[in-house]
C-alpha cells in the first residue's frame, strides 16, 4: 500500500506552507530520510524528508500553497509499482468470468490507463495475447473507468474558486463536454465541462471554495470519446492499436488544451512567454512544467504584431501614444510577504503609533572606529561596526526607561528586565527580524559576532522560527540603502522601534561656530498607549548622549 506524505506541523502559528521546490522528480526512486522537497512558510524554509523507500508520486505542483496535514505525495514500495501491478489481472479466464472482480483486483491499472478492461484490451498491449478477443466486450458490460475531474488553472493570480452552481445533480447521466457546473473566482465566472461520459458524482458541495487542482467531481461508468473509439473500431485496433488510441487524443480539444499548470505558468511568467506560444504535451494538451522549461521566447512575433495591426486601427493617435516596451509581469505574493503586509497593516490600525526624531553627531564613534578597528578585528576576528554601539546604547537606555521595553497583553503591561534586541535584516525573500538574546550582557565583540551570525543565516534562508520571535525592541537601519529619514513601523507585539539613517556631512553649530560634522537622524516610533511623550523623548535623548560620547558606554555613566 502506498505511503502518504503529508505536510507536517512546523510551528504553532503556521497553518499553511508553499512547495518552494521539488528536489526529486515524479516517478523517481527515493530512499528513507532523503530530502525530496523544500517547504516555505511565512517565517522560514523547511526540508521535507522521505518517510520510506519507494517511488515518488507527486500530487501537488511546485509553487502551490497548501494547509498543514495535506497529502502532497505518495511513496510506492517495490511491490506496488505500476509495472508489477498489471500481472495481478493477467489470468484471462478469471477476468472474463467476473468483470467486477477484475476491476477490484487492479483499480490502479484502470484509473491510470483510462481503460476498464484487462491489460489485453489496452492499445499498448500485444494484439496477439491469448484471450484478448474474449475480453474485448468487458468494458461495455462492466462499465468504464472512473474519470476524476479537478479544478483547472483559470488564471495566473487565481488560486481558488467557488462552486457557484451545479448544473447537473449528483447521480445524473452526463455526456463528454457537457457543462456540469459554474465556477466563480474573485474576478470572473467559468463553466466546467465534463471530461467524460457517465454518471456524475459530486465531490464538493455547492457554495464551497476549493483550490486549483482539487478534485471537484467523478464520472463513473464511462471514459468518454477516447474510450469509445477503440470499442467501435475493434478490428482496426487489432491491426494498429497504437494509432487508434493516439488519433482521438490528438484531435480532441478540451478546456485544458493550452492551459499551463501552476508550476508551468510561473515559469512562463518568469520567461515572459505567452501560453499561446507553447504546445502542451500533457493530458488533453495541458502545458506541463517540462513544456515551460523547454519553451523559447519568440522575439520576432511581438515586433511583427504592431506593424500588422497598425493599418487596421484607423486612428493614428493611439498608435503613437506608446512606443516603448509596455510589458507587465505578475507574481504571486510569497507567504513571507503576505504575513509582513498583514502584520504591518494590523499595527497601523491597532496601535496609537507616534514617531519622535533627533539627530546624533557620529564623529566620536567614527574616530573611535578608525583608531581601533584593525586591532579589534585582529583580536576578535570580526569588524567593529555601528550596530554594536547602537545596540549597547539602546540596552542602557531601556534599563533606564523600562516602558519602552514593555508590551501590552490584554489589559496588562508586561515589563521585561532583559533586552532581546531584534535586528531588521533584508534577506533574499524579504525582510526578516532575527533576535539577539540578552544583548545587555554582550560586549562589543559579542554583539558584532551575533549580528554577523544571524545575518548569514538570513541570507541563506536558514533562520528558524525561534530565532525570529520573542524580541522586546527592534533596531532597523535604512541608512545602508541611503534613507535620510523615515517613520519605521513597530514590530508587534513590541512597543517601540529605533530607525537609523544615512550619515551626511552637514553644517552644525558648535560653541558659536559653524562646523561640518557627520550627522545622522534617529527616529523612534512607539505605541502611545504604553509610552508617554516624556519617556519616548527622554529615551532618544539618552541614546544620543551615549553615542556622542562612547566612553559613557565603557564606564556605564
Tens digit of pLDDT for each residue in 248-307?
A: 444 456 655 777 766 677 777 777 787 777 887 776 677 877 787 788 765 544 444 444
Tens digit of pLDDT for each residue in 153-207?
A: 876 557 788 888 899 998 899 988 888 998 877 656 678 898 888 899 999 888 8
126 is catalytic: no
Of the candidates 121, 120, 139, 118, the residue with the CA atom closest to the CA atom of residue 129: 120
Between the two ends of the chain, the Cα-to-Cα distance in Å is 71
Please provide residue 36's backbone torsions phi and psi, each rounded to the nearest 5 degrees. Answer: -110, -20
- Residue 509 burial (10 A CB sphere; 0-12, 13-18, 19+): exposed
How confident is the model at residue 262, as a pLDDT? 62
380 is catalytic: no
How confident is the model at residue 189, as a pLDDT? 67
What b-and-e string marks burial along 33-58, b requiring 16 or more CB atoms within 10 Å of the CB?
A: eeebbbbbbbbbbbebebbeebbbeb
List, in order of start, the domains of the chain with CATH numbers. Answer: 82-145+225-251 (no CATH), 262-309 (4.10.320.10), 336-555 (3.30.559.10)
Print pLDDT tens along the chain (557 aa).
Answer: 788 888 888 766 677 888 888 899 888 999 888 889 888 876 677 788 888 888 999 988 888 888 888 889 888 874 333 433 333 333 333 333 343 334 344 434 334 334 344 444 444 444 444 443 333 333 433 456 788 888 888 765 577 888 888 999 988 999 888 889 988 776 566 788 988 888 999 998 888 888 888 899 999 875 443 333 333 333 333 333 333 333 444 445 665 577 776 667 777 777 778 777 788 777 667 787 778 778 876 554 444 444 444 444 444 445 556 678 888 888 877 777 787 788 889 888 888 999 999 999 999 999 999 999 899 999 999 999 999 999 999 999 999 999 999 999 989 999 999 999 999 888 877 788 999 999 999 999 999 999 999 988 888 888 888 888 889 999 999 988 889 999 999 998 999 999 999 999 999 999 999 999 999 999 999 999 999 999 999 999 999 999 999 988 877 76
375, three cell numbers: 586591532
489, three cell numbers: 513601523
Q: Are 340 and 430 in contact (CB under 8 A)?
A: yes
243, three cell numbers: 494509432
pTM strictly above 0.75: no
How confident is the model at residue 379, as a pLDDT? 93
Helix 386-400 / helix 533-548 crossing angle, nearest 10 deg: 140
Q: How many Cα atoms sit within 13 Å of 472 on the Cβ side?
A: 23
How confident is the model at residue 436, as a pLDDT? 95
Q: Are 329 and 272 in contact (CB under 8 A)?
A: yes
- Residue 536 burial (10 A CB sphere; 0-12, 13-18, 19+): buried
Q: How many CB atoms neighbour CB 237 within 10 A? A: 21
CA–CA distance, 543 with 523 (Å, rounded to integer): 11
Q: From the candidates 170, 277, 532, 549, which is the catalytic residue?
A: 532
Q: How many Cα atoms sit within 13 Å of 447 on the Cβ side?
A: 24
Q: From the candidates 126, 202, 528, 549, which is the catalytic residue?
A: 528
CA–CA distance, 168 with 192 (Å, rounded to integer): 11
Q: How many Cα atoms sit within 13 Å of 155 on the Cβ side?
A: 14
Amino acid at each position: 500500500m502506498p505511503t502518504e506524505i503529508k505536510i507536517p506541523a512546523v510551528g504553532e502559528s503556521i497553518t499553511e506552507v508553499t512547495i518552494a521546490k521539488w528536489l526529486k522528480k515524479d516517478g523517481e526512486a527515493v530512499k528513507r530520510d532523503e530530502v525530496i522537497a523544500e517547504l516555505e512558510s511565512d517565517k522560514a524554509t523547511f526540508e521535507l524528508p522521505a518517510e520510506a523507500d519507494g517511488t515518488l508520486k507527486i500530487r501537488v505542483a511546485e509553487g502551490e500553497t497548501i494547509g498543514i496535514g495535506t497529502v502532497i505525495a505518495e511513496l510506492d514500495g517495490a511491490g506496488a509499482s505500476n509495472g508489477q501491478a498489471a500481472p495481478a489481472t493477467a489470468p484471462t479466464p478469471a477476468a472474463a468470468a467476473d468483470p467486477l472482480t477484475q476491476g477490484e483486483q487492479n483499480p490502479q491499472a484502470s484509473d491510470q490507463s483510462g481503460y476498464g478492461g484487462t491489460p489485453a484490451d489496452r492499445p499498448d498491449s500485444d494484439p496477439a495475447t491469448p484471450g484478448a478477443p474474449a475480453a474485448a466486450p468487458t468494458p461495455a458490460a462492466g462499465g468504464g473507468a472512473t474519470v476524476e475531474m479537478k479544478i483547472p488553472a483559470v488564471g495566473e493570480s487565481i488560486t481558488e474558486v467557488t462552486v457557484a452552481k451545479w448544473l447537473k445533480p449528483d447521480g445524473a447521466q452526463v455526456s463528454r463536454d457537457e457543462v456540469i457546473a459554474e465556477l466563480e473566482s474573485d474576478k470572473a465566472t467559468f463553466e466546467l465541462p465534463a471530461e467524460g461520459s457517465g454518471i456524475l458524482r459530486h465531490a464538493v458541495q455547492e457554495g464551497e471554495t476549493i483550490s486549483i487542482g482539487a478534485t471537484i467531481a467523478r464520472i463513473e461508468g464511462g471514459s468518454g470519446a477516447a474510450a469509445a473509439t477503440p470499442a467501435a473500431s475493434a478490428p482496426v485496433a487489432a491491426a494498429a492499436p497504437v494509432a487508434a488510441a493516439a488519433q482521438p487524443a490528438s484531435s480532441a480539444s478540451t478546456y485544458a488544451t493550452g492551459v499551463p499548470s501552476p508550476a508551468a505558468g510561473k515559469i512562463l511568467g518568469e520567461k515572459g512567454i505567452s501560453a499561446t506560444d507553447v504546445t502542451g504535451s500533457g493530458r488533453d494538451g495541458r502545458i506541463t512544467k517540462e513544456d515551460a522549461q523547454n519553451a523559447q521566447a519568440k522575439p520576432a512575433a511581438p515586433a511583427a504584431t504592431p506593424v500588422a495591426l497598425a493599418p487596421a486601427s484607423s486612428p493614428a493617435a493611439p498608435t503613437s501614444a506608446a512606443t516603448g516596451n509596455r510589458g507587465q509581469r505578475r507574481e504571486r505574493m510569497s507567504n513571507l510577504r503576505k504575513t509582513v503586509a498583514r502584520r504591518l497593516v494590523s499595527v497601523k490600525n491597532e496601535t496609537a503609533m507616534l514617531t519622535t526624531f533627533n539627530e546624533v553627531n557620529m564623529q566620536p564613534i567614527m574616530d573611535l572606529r578608525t583608531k581601533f578597528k584593525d586591532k579589534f578585528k585582529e583580536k576578535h576576528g570580526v569588524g567593529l561596526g555601528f550596530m554594536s554601539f547602537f545596540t549597547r546604547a539602546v540596552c542602557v537606555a531601556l534599563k533606564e526607561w523600562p516602558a519602552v521595553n514593555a508590551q501590552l497583553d490584554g489589559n496588562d503591561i508586561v515589563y521585561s528586565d532583559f533586552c532581546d534586541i531584534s535586528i531588521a535584516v533584508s534577506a533574499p525573500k524579504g525582510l526578516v527580524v532575527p533576535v539577539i538574546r540578552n544583548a545587555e550582557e554582550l560586549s562589543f565583540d559579542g554583539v558584532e559576532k551575533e549580528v554577523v551570525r544571524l545575518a548569514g543565516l538570513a541570507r541563506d534562508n536558514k533562520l528558524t522560527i525561534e530565532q525570529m520571535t520573542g524580541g522586546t525592541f527592534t533596531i532597523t537601519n535604512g541608512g545602508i540603502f541611503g534613507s535620510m529619514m523615515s517613520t519605521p513601523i513597530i514590530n508587534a507585539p513590541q512597543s517601540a522601534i529605533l530607525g537609523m539613517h544615512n550619515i551626511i556631512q552637514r553644517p552644525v553649530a558648535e560653541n558659536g561656530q559653524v562646523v561640518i560634522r557627520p550627522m545622522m537622524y534617529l527616529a523612534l516610533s512607539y505605541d502611545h498607549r504604553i509610552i508617554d511623550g516624556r519617556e519616548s523623548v527622554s529615551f532618544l535623548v539618552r541614546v544620543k548622549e551615549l553615542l556622542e560620547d562612547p566612553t559613557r558606554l565603557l564606564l556605564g555613566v
